[in-house]
């Protein structure tokens, strides 16, 4: 088989890139190691920057999102059970959309079905060859048979553990990482959200977040040791701890119920550079991971797709290599800005091992300053709703 762009990874970034390429007549093939049902069952973040919203709309993917998503014009921050609101609309004339990554992925699969795009699931043993030549190809296995795909360009949308980044020589690739000494214990429940906007809570007992998926589906998180067993966190224990960390009014109004999903996720900041080697491009989690505190993971993947799509469109339609040559530089610049914001939110809102009373007071003073300063709130809002591409 031959294609112009081979894409490893059938998650939202790979699907979106294929969708955009198809709209301008550039063919692609997607390889995904998991089944379609598995991809669609992943529970992921749900806050979309407005640039992501507009990109989905402009590519014909916004119909269901606009019907079922929730526009948020601000968010709440709290410290020691007392909170305040940051008004995005007032400060930076912008907003975000709450619409789950699972739903975005479902919309992308539906669009792919309509155009009969080639998506090959359940592949194994992908190997990448001749990345720095015009004769690039990959080998994969499916159902015990070996296959080959020749391509002009290869997009690695295969996540942190995928094969794409590992194909870049260690003397070329630079990696930057910080692993945080805690995780997020997340609970999904069929209960109405406690607030119409997200609540981020700093507390001496640890971080908490109140989020939502729809009017009757809520997502809540508390900081917890990654090593904790889920058996330690029965539903009652979780709800009791959450109430201790969030604003008093929210705790009083919280509707609890049986959890339908519960997991503990580790937190890390990770960046790999360069994001391009020869004709291989890293996209999304293959190149960078951010803690979910800043709601940037999916949005960074979308911005990578934007830069790569524009580069490939320029190459095929105008015979220019400028976008390809600048992809890593442009994408990485935005990545690092988002990494900084996610790092700031994580260090500001969580309790770290051996944290002293002084450290806690500094965090509380920082939040107090943010509450009282329009300039500080504007900086926060600008980063939260998403920096321009």
Q: Which residues are catalytic?
A: 72, 200, 292, 296, 384
d(CA 221, CA 229): 15
Number of other CB atoms surrounding residue 378 within 10 Å: 16
CB atoms within 10 A of CB 275: 27
Taking the CB of residue 343, how many other CB atoms lie within 10 A of it?
A: 17
> What is the DSSP secondary structure assignment for residue 255, as one 8-state letter?
P
Task: Describe the crossing of helices 322-349 and 374-385 by its angle, rounded to 10 degrees.
Answer: 130
Which one, of 338, 341, 335, lies nearest residue 282 by Cα?
335
Closest CA to 182 of 352, 24, 27, 331: 352
CA–CA gap between residue 277 and residue 319 (Å, rounded): 20
- Give the closest residue to 266 by CA, choosing from 210, 223, 217, 315: 223
Q: CB–CB of 222/238 below 8 Å?
A: yes
Cα–Cα distance, 382 to 388 (Å, whole number): 9
- Report whether 298 contacts 52 (CB < 8 A): yes
Which backbone phi and psi does 284 adopt, to 5 degrees? 65, -140
**Which of 183, 343, 209 minimizes the C-alpha distance to 266?**
183
Cα 173 from Cα 327, distance rounded (Å): 16
| Residue located via tokens 């991971």 | 289
């Amino acid at each position: 088989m031959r294609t112009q762009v081979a894409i490893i990874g059938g998650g939202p970034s790979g699907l979106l890139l294929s969708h955009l390429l198809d709209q301008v007549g550039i063919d692609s093939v997607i390889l995904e190691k998991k089944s379609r049902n598995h991809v669609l069952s992943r529970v992921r973040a749900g806050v979309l920057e407005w640039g992501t919203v507009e990109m989905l709309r402009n590519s014909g993917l916004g119909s269901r999102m606009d019907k079922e998503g929730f526009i948020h014009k601000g968010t709440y921050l709290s410290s020691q059970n007392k909170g305040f609101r940051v008004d995005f609309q007032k400060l930076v004339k912008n907003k975000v959309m709450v619409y789950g990554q699972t739903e975005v992925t479902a919309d992308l699969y539906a669009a792919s079905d309509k155009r009969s795009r080639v998506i090959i699931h359940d592949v194994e043993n992908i190997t990448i060859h001749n990345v720095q030549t015009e004769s690039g190809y990959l080998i994969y296995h499916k159902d015990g048979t070996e296959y080959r795909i020749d391509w002009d360009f290869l997009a690695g949308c295969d996540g942190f553990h995928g094969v794409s980044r590992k194909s870049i020589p260690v003397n070329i690739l630079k990696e930057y990482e910080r692993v945080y000494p805690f995780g997020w214990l997340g609970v999904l429940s069929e209960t109405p959200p406690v607030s119409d906007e997200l609540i981020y809570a700093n507390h001496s007992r640890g971080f908490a977040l109140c989020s939502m998926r729809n009017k009757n589906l809520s997502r809540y998180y508390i900081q917890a040791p990654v090593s904790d067993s889920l058996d330690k966190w029965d539903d009652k224990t979780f709800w009791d701890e959450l109430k201790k960390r969030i604003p008093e009014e929210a705790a009083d109004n919280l509707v609890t119920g049986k959890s339908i999903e519960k997991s503990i996720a580790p937190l890390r900041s990770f960046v790999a550079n360069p994001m391009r080697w020869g004709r291989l491009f890293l996209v999304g989690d293959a190149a960078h991971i951010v803690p979910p505190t800043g709601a940037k993971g999916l949005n960074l993947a979308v911005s990578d797709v934007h830069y790569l799509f524009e580069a490939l469109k320029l190459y095929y339609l105008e015979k220019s290599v400028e976008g390809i040559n600048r992809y890593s530089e442009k994408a990485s610049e935005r990545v690092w800005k988002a990494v900084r914001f996610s790092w700031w939110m994580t260090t500001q809102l969580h309790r770290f091992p051996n944290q002293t009373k002084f450290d806690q007071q500094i965090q509380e003073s920082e939040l107090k300053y943010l509450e009282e300063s329009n300039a500080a709130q504007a900086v926060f809002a600008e980063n939260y709703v998403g920096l321009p591409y």
